[in-house]
Homo-oligomer: A and B are copies of this chain.
């Protein structure tokens, strides 16, 4: 039976049972802290569900699922240093709680530990699994670089933005889906389709994240609402508004308003342009395309229902 709760329980047990070396404590304590900080574990769930969809029990791919989650947490850890972020998942970031050297070095260790976990697979799968993992990692660094490049650019297009979030976010979901299918021995057509599913789901997922950053319920979203606007982050909402109302947007920015007023005036433009609805149409379109991508892949009804429901959830989630 495909159940997100069962997958989640398997994951939390596996994370809790990771056997960290005790020494040197300064290296491993931030690793444990980061990994035990929670998160949606969506990449792990995708990997396990993809494996089960093609006949391999989730427990048999737990090491790869942990590896992908370890990798994801490594990128968050280093991104937080680069962004000088204070809070992650409601707790101080590693470089705040310890220092930036600890964050850099523990992150490096997490990347190597992630590679070790991913590599714990049958020998005849190792080459393919490792190549997928490493190629995905490179794409994610490229996405992060583009994201940083965008900060100092005023001419970022929606296409460029979508390519950035594809690299920074989607490919890891896609990698998780493909890896699960590969390890279950799915044929290359099915693996490609699962990859495409993850990629499109990732786009829907990230656009919903951007939407919630502006329109979410503060009580549910778990972080401050409006952070993207305050930081003038070039999201889909921002870029689209800029392309229609550049002068007006610029006038608001020139006023050097308080955060509260800045958020409310920019949001007003978003609302006037109907961007909340348009953004949701786009999110739903990516979610539908994700489901369509695996339409012709043979799998059990319960597996298909699971992936369909996950895609639907990505369009309606509030946290």
**A interface vs B, CB < 8 Å?**
21, 23-24, 26-27, 78, 81-82, 100-101, 104-105, 107-109, 111-113, 115-116, 119, 123, 126-127, 130-131, 134, 137-138, 141-142, 144-146, 148-149
Contacts and interface: CB of A to CB of B under 8 A. Distances in A.
Contacts of A27: 141-142, 145
Contacts of A78: 104-105, 108
27 contacts: A21-B142, A24-B145, A26-B149, A27-B142, A78-B105, A81-B101, A82-B100, A104-B104, A105-B141, A105-B144, A108-B108, A108-B111, A108-B137, A109-B138, A109-B141, A111-B111, A111-B112, A112-B134, A112-B137, A112-B138, A115-B115, A115-B130, A115-B134, A116-B131, A123-B126, A123-B127, A126-B126
Nearest to A26: B145
Given A24-B146, A107-B108, 20 more contacts: A21-B142, A23-B142, A26-B149, A27-B141, A27-B142, A78-B108, A81-B100, A82-B100, A82-B104, A82-B105, A101-B148, A105-B145, A108-B137, A111-B112, A112-B134, A115-B115, A116-B138, A123-B127, A126-B127, A126-B130
Nearest to A148: B101
Nearest to A144: B105
A308 to B, nearest CB: 33
Contact of A26 (B23, B26, B138, B148): B148
**4 nearest CB pairs, A to B:** A82-B101, A27-B145, A24-B145, A112-B137
A119 B134 contact: yes
A101 B147 CA distance: 12
Contacts of A142: 21, 23-24, 27
A130 B67 CA distance: 15
Contacts of A24: 142, 145-146, 149
Given A105-B145, A146-B24, A113 B130 contact: no
Nearest to A74: B108
A293 to B, nearest CB: 27
A142 B112 CA distance: 12
Contacts of A104: 78, 81-82, 104
Contacts of A126: 123, 126-127, 130
Max chain B Cβ within 10 angstroms of own Cβ: one of A81, A100, A108, A138: A108
A27 B141 CA distance: 8
A130 B134 contact: no
Nearest to A143: B24
A4 B113 CA distance: 34
A78 B111 CA distance: 14
